[in-house]
Amino acid sequence: MEYSTDLLTHGVYVVTARQEGKTAGLAVAWATQVSSEELLICVGSKSATRPLIEQSASFGLSVLRADQLDMARTFGWHHSDEVNKFAGIAFHTRQSGAPLLNDCVAVFDCRVEKTVELEGGQKLFLARILDGEVFEPEAERLIYRAEDY
Q: What is the CATH number of the domain that holds 107?
A: 2.30.110.10
List pLDDT tens digits, range 133-147: 999 999 999 998 877
Q: What is the number of domains present in the chain? A: 1
DSSP for 19-74, please give it.
Answer: ETTEEEEEEES-EEEEETTEEEEEE-TT-SHHHHHHHHTEEEEEEPBTT-HHHHHH
Check pLDDT > 80 for residue 107: yes
C-beta separation of 144 from 75 below 8 A? no
Residues 6+ apart with CB under 8 A from 50: 43, 44, 123
CA angle 22, 89, 68 (to 5 degrees): 120
Q: Is residue 107 part of a domain?
A: yes
Check pLDDT > 70 for residue 130: yes
Q: Is residue 111 part of a domain?
A: yes
Residue percentage of the chain with pLDDT more than 70: 95
Q: Report the pLDDT value the prediction gives residue 144, as an integer from 0 to 100.
A: 83
Question: Rounded CA gap, 94 and 82, in Å?
Answer: 26
CA distances from 2 to 7, 120, 146 (A): 12, 22, 18
Q: Is residue 6 part of a domain?
A: no
Check pLDDT > 70 for residue 149: no
Q: Is residue 52 part of a domain?
A: yes
Q: Is residue 2 part of a domain?
A: no
Check pLDDT > 90 for residue 83: no
Per the DSSP assignment, residues forming a β-bridge with 100 are 92
Range of the domain at 73: 11-144
Q: Is residue 57 part of a domain?
A: yes
Global confidence as pTM? 0.92
Over the chain, what is the mean pLDDT?
A: 93
Check pLDDT > 80 for residue 6: no
Q: Is residue 3 part of a domain?
A: no
CA angle 36, 42, 48 (to 5 degrees): 125
Question: Rounded CA gap, 126 and 51, in Å?
Answer: 15
Q: Is residue 1 part of a domain?
A: no
List pLDDT tens digits, range 9-37: 889 999 999 999 999 999 999 899 999 99
